[in-house]
């Protein structure tokens, strides 16, 4: 009987350990999902901040009568845009006027 009881206790302990491990894994997965969502939120915030920089730079260009070339240079410097993207933004402003 003692061996049989010991074997049953070992099985119960093993099942409990597996259940605890499964619960721990699920908890860690949930934490990772939350971190990914936060990362996505951070990227959205970064994108919004970059859009504000672009808008402010374009407003300065109009207010200070910058040339199209200077506007492109400032967009590239302040918003880290490619030449093509900076030219597209500058064209929207200068070609509209």
**Angle between helices 83-96 and 2-63 in degrees, nearest 10:** 40
- Residue 70, pLDDT score: 95
- Residue 68, pLDDT score: 93
All structural domains of the chain with their residue ranges: 2-96
Helical spans, DSSP H, in the chain = 2-63, 68-79, 83-96
Q: What is the pLDDT of residues 66-77, one digit of tens each?
A: 999 999 999 999
Q: What is the pLDDT of residues 9-68, one digit of tens each?
A: 666 665 666 566 666 767 777 777 777 676 666 666 577 888 889 998 999 888 898 999
- Residue 92, pLDDT score: 86
Structural contact between residues 89 and 54, judged by C-beta atoms closer than 8 angstroms: yes
- Residue 97, pLDDT score: 57
């Amino acid at each position: 009987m003692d061996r049989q009881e010991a074997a049953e206790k070992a099985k119960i302990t093993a099942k409990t350990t597996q259940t605890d491990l499964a619960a721990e894994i699920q908890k860690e997965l949930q934490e990772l999902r939350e971190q990914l969502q936060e990362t996505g939120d951070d990227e959205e915030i970064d994108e919004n901040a970059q859009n504000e920089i672009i808008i402010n730079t374009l407003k300065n260009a109009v207010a200070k009568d910058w040339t199209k070339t200077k506007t492109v240079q400032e967009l590239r410097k302040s918003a880290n845009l490619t030449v093509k993207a900076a030219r597209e933004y500058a064209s929207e402003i200068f070609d509209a006027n």
